[in-house]
Amino acid sequence: MACWELGIQLKRDWLPEAEKSNIKLFVVGIGTSESAKEFAEQVGFPAEMVFGDDEAATYQAVQFVNSDFSEDGRKRGMRMMTEKTAEAVKGRANGRPVSFFGLFDVPGLYTNDDLEAAKEIYKPLMPKGDNSLDKTLVQGGVLVFNGKQQVYKHRDTSVAVHADLAKVMAAAVA
């Protein structure tokens, strides 16, 4: 769901900033090219800027966190949702606790307007077949290049802990 929240933010906030500064913006997600097209359509992002990676090979090549977590010995899935997830969601515009039918707030769970909008358009587009769970349980991030030189890298440390647009733009225009 957090990827869909990010997709909404990419369309609304990131794409206009990139266009103003004549910066090329591309999105690579885990899944088929058909899944990438569906994701782009649902969030309103230009389809020609969204690519699918069936095997999560791009994520492995750029050393984003893979689902086996072999780099620090954690068990699979242990890093997907952490306290950083709740902090990140709560810290975005309109961040607020999740309410149980308006009766009480659910401890440790937060939402925001973009996440609520993402819930309305979300479709499960994860890979199928062999190792599909391993391909799905991958954290993403952001890379900024000046030509062939990488000038910025953000690795998502937990679900919904996305790169800061101001930092990305500062690196891109420097």
Q: Which CA distances in Å does 70 have to 22, 77, 78, 130? A: 38, 11, 12, 20
Residue 38, token pair as written in the block = 């569906």
pLDDT score for 74: 53
Which has the higher per-residue pLDDT, 143 or 62?
Answer: 143
Cα-based angle 121, 99, 3 (whole degrees, multiple of 5): 30
Q: Which CA distances in Å does 90 have to 82, 94, 154? A: 13, 8, 20
Main-chain phi, psi angles of 54, to 5 degrees: -55, -40
Q: Residue 86 pLDDT > 90, yes or no? A: no
Measure the CA–CA gap between 18 and 10, rounded to whole angstroms: 10
Q: Residue 66 pLDDT > 70, yes or no? A: no
Q: Residue 164 pLDDT > 90, yes or no? A: yes
Burial readout 136-174 (b: 16 or more C-beta within 10 A, e: otherwise): bbbbbbbbbeeeeeeebebebebbbbbbeeeebbebbee
Mean pLDDT within 53-71: 74
Which has the higher per-residue pLDDT, 44 or 86?
Answer: 44
- Per-residue pLDDT reduced to its tens digit, 1-13: 788 999 999 999 9
pLDDT score for 65: 66
Which has the higher per-residue pLDDT, 105 or 20?
Answer: 20
Query: Where does the pLDDT of residue 121 fall: very low under 50, low under 70, confident under 90, or very high at 90 and above?
Result: very high
The proportion of the chain whose per-residue pLDDT surpasses 70, expressed as a percent, equals 91
Is the distance from CB of 125 to CB of 114 less than 8 angstroms? no
What is this structure's pTM? 0.83
